[in-house]
Amino acid sequence: MRLFTASAVALGLSFSAMAEDTSRNEELASSLNQETIRFIAESLDHTVRRDIEDQIGVLAVYQEDESDNELVYAMQGKACQDSPDCLGLEIYIIYEGDFTAEQANDINQRWAAIKATANDGSLYLTRYLILDQGQTIGNIRTNVLNALAIAENVGDEQNAGAETQTTLSVSDIDFGEDSGAYINDGACDDARFEEDGDLWDYQRSHVLNDATDCKTLYEAGELTLFLDFGDNSGEYANDDTCDDNRFTGEGRSILETDSHVKRDAVDCIVAYRAGTLNRPE
């Protein structure tokens, strides 16, 4: 998985700070217009990047207090019915990467205050507020902050996972043995260390079979582990079917949950070597 960034913005710009404005916190709003949506963002000391084209809403930037990290988000009026006043407000953050529906479902189960969906690899985090019964500006501001706090947590989790995947130490990796046809030739033929390993049948057959070459190159910093099968700790390990739902192909079982992700290594390696599994996208 790639480390992801918020879409629609180039990070690293500097902005002038503003003091938070709580002067309208008690104001009851049963609808929102462009001016009020902009005020909500700016009242939180967030920088409005621009208005949303042909819509009622803004694209804004929130900067963490203790770092230079920035989170780009949008607030968009909903249920406007061709009126400048909208009866709903949607707060959303879009992350780019290789996100799956399973990851989005996991986020939804753990964070009830936000809705996560995955589409074409991007992750959409949204929170919708209904205003027709009236909400105070202060409550709307709190909802924005809650949505951004959850988005930050989701981002931290995913980035931490990606870092862990790409910085495994030598002792964390099972390099296998030297039993392949091309051992000790100074080149690693194990498909796990090739980004396009599926394109070469011999690299599939060399998974765990070119230990010395791969370990030497990995220790020298010349290899990246692109495909980690994990361990064999799953409930259905060693049943001759790969239960890791990251993979696709006829070698995969019908199990759809994440319970065996990186926990059915032997079955998945056998199927992968045989060419009946496609690696995760």
pLDDT at res. 2: 31
Token readout for 128 is 């919708």
208 in Cβ contact with 176 (< 8 Å): yes
Token readout for 280 is 């995760």
Cα separations (Å) of 10 from 14, 21, 69?
Answer: 11, 27, 12
Cα–chain center distance at 67: 21
pLDDT at res. 169: 82
Distance, first Cα to last Cα, the chain: 9
34-43 vs 137-166: helix crossing angle, rounded to 10: 60
Token readout for 46 is 């967030």
Tell the CATH topology of 28-166.
Answer: Yope Regulator; Chain: A, (3.30.1460)
pLDDT at res. 12: 29
- What is the tens place of the pLDDT at every residue in 15-40? 334 468 999 999 999 999 999 999 99
- Mean pLDDT for the chain? 85
| Regions of the chain with pLDDT less than 70 | 1-19, 64-68, 159-167
pLDDT at res. 164: 47
Amino acid making up residue 187: A
pLDDT at res. 8: 33
Q: In whole angstroms, what is the distance from residue 129 CA to residue 127 CA? A: 7
Q: In whole angstroms, what is the distance from residue 270 CA to residue 183 CA? A: 20
Q: In whole angstroms, what is the distance from residue 106 CA to residue 141 CA? A: 26
Domain boundaries, the chain: 28-166
